[in-house]
Structures are given as structure tokens and as C-alpha cells.
Structure 1
Amino acid sequence: MAITTTDAGLLRLLQLSSASLPVGGYAFSQGLEYAVDAGWVRSAEETRAWLELQLRHGLARVDCPLLLRCYEALEEGAMDRLRYWNRYALACRETRELLLTDTATGNALMRLLAQLEVPDPLAETEVSFVTAFALAARHWQIDKNAALAGLVWSWLENQVAAATKLVPLGQTQAQKLLGELQLQVPAAIECARSLDDSELGSGLPALAIASARHEHMYTRLFRS
């Protein structure tokens, strides 16, 4: 997987993918909190398996290919197509929690981009984080492949940070886990690039169950 970008684009990508970006991704565990509480995830190895499955069968088949389609729609000025793929992204969220995660972070990023003078072609629309990420990447001339890697990294860093608190993991374990999962990112991106429109979508029932049950937990560290 070749990634080429300008120095300015790389710096913007680092900004866009940073955990310090004020979009609130750290507030959501995306089902992981319930999975830990239920005993489905109890160790670093089980955390790796949980996240690897989502990367291969979730992000690689939904978020990443949709980022590509939103980016290309922006390149071609096809706003109707951009709106279509934005709605598609939101429709892929299987629970209220996963939908809230997507819209809360997406709308927060859009508010931030407005302050940074990035044009908004989707005013007064609920925006997926994927769509907002594509808007920023296209405006800042970040290479498409680099943008895909940045989106995956943003998700992965938040999920490992959540696991560090919940499993719990030590800091060294968390860094080792990030290193192991990084090795899966190129294959996930290649998968995303290869999919036709008819092949988009994922089926992760355990994730959906964990997310749906999370809101009924007696106590929670993360939003639901």
C-alpha cells in the first residue's frame, strides 16, 4: 500500500487523526464496556481479537469504503452522491449507541471545521464522522490512502484507550496491542478499495448486542 502526501497534508492528517481533536470519540466504548462487563473480553489477547474482527469486518467493509466514496464525490463536486453516502453510513449503524457515536463525533467535527473555515456542503444535516473526515481530508488535500489510514488510526487509538481503562490493560500492553493491530491496517485498506457498492456492509452481531445492552448497564464509564 503506497501512501504519498505532501508535508502540509501529512501535518493536517496528524491533526485530524489526533486523540486531542475535540470531537468526543473518547466518550464512547462502542460496545466494549458491555463486552468486558459480560466477560467476553478479559485480556489483552481477547481485546486484540475483538478489535481485529471489527477492523476486518467492520471498518474495512463499511467506514473505509464509504470514506473513499465521500472523498471521490467531493472531488467530482457530486453533492447528491455525497449526501447519499452520508445517509448510507448512518443507516449502517445497528444500534442507537453506534448511531449516536457516529453523529455526535461527526457533528462535533463539522462544528470544528466551520471554525477552521472549511466549507460545509451539508449544512443542517446529520453528518457521519466518516463524511466529516472525508470533507476535512479533501479540503486539506490529504491523499486518499493516507486519509483511510488516519480514519482507522483514530478509531483504533480510541478503542485501545477504552480497553486500557476497562479490561484493564497496562500502558505497555496497550502500546504492544496498537503495534500488533497496526499490521492489520494495510490489508483492511486494500479490502476497502476492492469492494463494489453491492458488497458494502458488515454483520457483527456480538458488537450490536453489546452496544444495545450497554445502555441498560447499572453503571457506565462511557456514553450510551
Structure 2
Amino acid sequence: MDMLTNSALLKLLQLASPTLPIGAYSYSEGVESLVDAAKITSASSLEHWLRQELRYGAVRVEAAVMIRAYRSTIVEDFSALTDWNHWLSATRETEELRSQSWQMGRSLLRLFQDLQADEFTPLLLQEECNFAIAFGTIAARWQIDEQSATLGYFHSWATNLISAGIKLIPLGQTAGQRLLLELGEAFDRATQEVLTLQDDDLSSCGWGLSLASMAHETLYSRLFRS
């Protein structure tokens, strides 16, 4: 693993922080409907869901596309960057998941523009930019290495869903932190796989997430937007 410079490490911590003002806290990515259906009822069942998603689910594909956005930014291949953004939008199977990705991506790009307007490009001034694309582009511009960016992406994703689980199941804060710590090896394994995936291997077994997301759209009472 490449050693991050102090500057790059601090920027990664900022980019992956749960306090980043992009609205991630308002989404549960189907966890709310799974709790409502009593499919997730404890820390162990939430851990099982997260591990399965890391191994087979949509977040694995998102991270792989994030890396492609990273690499396209490095070589300034803006056509490829746009193509991958459209490709990722097309893989979103429900309106909630697509809207989440676009809203978070848009918010992240606007934040980046405010923080470093001199580095902002007109290419990214689009309403329908997926979060993974924005994350990869900014990680490249901030000179965060690929492996660290991918680990940060997975850690940020899991932190948000564990926070949702703490509220919904509910779990204690200590149980949530223990779960996040125990997922470390799963983050590392998923990162190594994502970094070597070929384009033709970008696939997921995400029907569980799709069904949970569709069910969430019709829940009578909701705390989260997805």
C-alpha cells in the first residue's frame, strides 16, 4: 500500500467523513424497509447484510466505477468520465437509489467547487452526476492513491448504513462501532477485488437491495429517504 502524504490523508478523512454536508445521513439504502420487514433485527443480521453487499452487491460495482472515474480524471479523459457516469446511472434499479446517487454527487461537486473553485471543471457542472463519479474525481484531484480512496469509499458507505441501523433496530453506539471495526477485513478484501476488476466483470447480485428499495417507496412511515 502506498503511503499517503499527510496532506492526502487529511483530505481522505475529510472526503470520507460522515459529517460531510452531502445528505448521506438521510439515506438507509433499503435498511429501513428490511428492519420494518424484520429481516434485519440485530447487529449480527446487519453485519451479514453489509458483508453480502460488499461481496456481491451494488456498492462493489459503484466502487469499481469510482476507480474508473479516478483513472479517467488522472489522464483527463473526460469522454470516458461522462460515459461511466451514464453507465452507472443506467444500472440504478429504483428511483430512490438513482435519486440518492445524483443528489449526493451533485452536493459533493458543489462543495468541491466552493472549496477549490480554481480546480473545478465545467464537465462536472451537471445535475445528474453520480456520487461515485464525484468521489473518484475529487480523490484523484486531491492526490489520494487508488487503494486508500477505495477503502475510504467503503468505510464511508458502511458508516452511514451502520448509523441508520443504530437508529432503526435500534443498536447502541458501542455495538455500531464494534461492527464497523469487525468489517475491516471485508473492506480490505473488497478493495483488492475492485482494483483488479475488468470492465466485463462489472456485475452484482443486487436483487435483495432492489426489492428492499422498492418496498421502501411504499412504507407508510419513513425516517429515511431510501
TM surpasses 0.5: yes
Q: 196, 216, 221: which one pairs with 2:223?
A: 221
Which sections of structure 1, spanning at least 5 residues, go unmatched? none
**Shift in Å at residue 60 of structure 1?**
6.0
Is residue 3–residue 143 contact of structure 1 (8 Å, CA) maintained in 2? yes
Distance in structure 1 (CA, Å) of the matches to 2:138 and 2:84: 16
Write out aligned runs for 1:117-196 (5 A). 117=117, 118-120=119-121, 121-196=123-198
Change in Cα spacing, 1:183 to 1:59, as seen in structure 2 (3 Å) is farther
Name 2:214's counterpart in structure 1.
Answer: 212
Query: Alpha-carbon deviations, 1:97-123, whole Å to 9, x = none?
Result: 111111111100011011012413222
Partner of 1:198: 200
- Summarize the alignment of residues 32-181 of structure 1 with structure 2, pairs less than 5 Å apart: 32-58=31-57, 61-116=60-115, 117=117, 118-120=119-121, 121-181=123-183
Q: What is the rounded CA distance, in whole Å, between the counterparts of 1:30 and 1:144 in structure 2?
A: 25
What letter matches 1:5 in structure 2? Answer: L
Task: Determine the C-alpha separation between the residues in 1 that align with 2:145 and 2:68.
Answer: 14
After TM superposition, where is structure 1 displaced by more than 6 Å over at least 4 residues in a row? none
Which blocks of at least 5 consecutive residues in structure 2 are unaligned? none
- Mapped to 2, the partners of 1:223 and 1:183 lie a distance apart of 29
Q: After superposition, give the CA deviation of every residue in 1:117-164 in whole Å (9 maximum; x if it has no partner).
A: 241322234101001101211111111111111111110110000000
What is the count of residue pairs matched by the alignment? 223
The one-letter code matched in structure 2 to 1:215 is: E
**In structure 2, do the counterparts of structure 1 residues 152 and 3 end up closer, same or farther at CA, with 3 Å as the change threshold?**
farther
More off after superposition, 149-158 vs 51-60: 51-60
Q: TM-score, normalised by structure 1?
A: 0.96
Partner of 1:15: 14
Deviation at 1:13, TM superposition (A): 0.4
Moved more, 63-72 or 24-33: 63-72
Q: For 2:99 and 2:127, how far apart are their aligned partners in 1? A: 14
Quote the Cα distance in structure 1 between the aligned partners of 2:60 and 2:185: 17
* Separation in structure 1 between the aligned mates of residue 93 and residue 162 of structure 2, nearest angstrom: 22
**Partners of 1:60 and 1:188 within 8 A in 2:** no
Q: CA deviation at 1:61?
A: 3.4
C-alpha RMSD over aligned residues: 1.2
C-alpha separation in 2, matches of 1:59 and 1:151: 13
Give yes or no for contact 1:41–1:167 (8 Å, CA) kept in 2.
Answer: yes
**Amino acid of the residue matched to residue 194 of structure 2?**
A
Q: Distance in 1 between matches of 2:210 and 2:135?
A: 24
CA distance in 2, matches of 1:174, 1:23: 22
- Please say if residues 73 and 140 of structure 2, whose CA atoms lie closer than 8 Å, have aligned partners that are also in contact: yes
Per-residue CA deviation, residues 20-53 of structure 1 (Å, 9 max, x unaligned), is 1000001000000000000111111100001111
Instruction: Output the TM-score relative to the length of structure 2.
Output: 0.95
**Cα distance in 2, alignment partners of residues 124 and 185 from structure 1:** 30
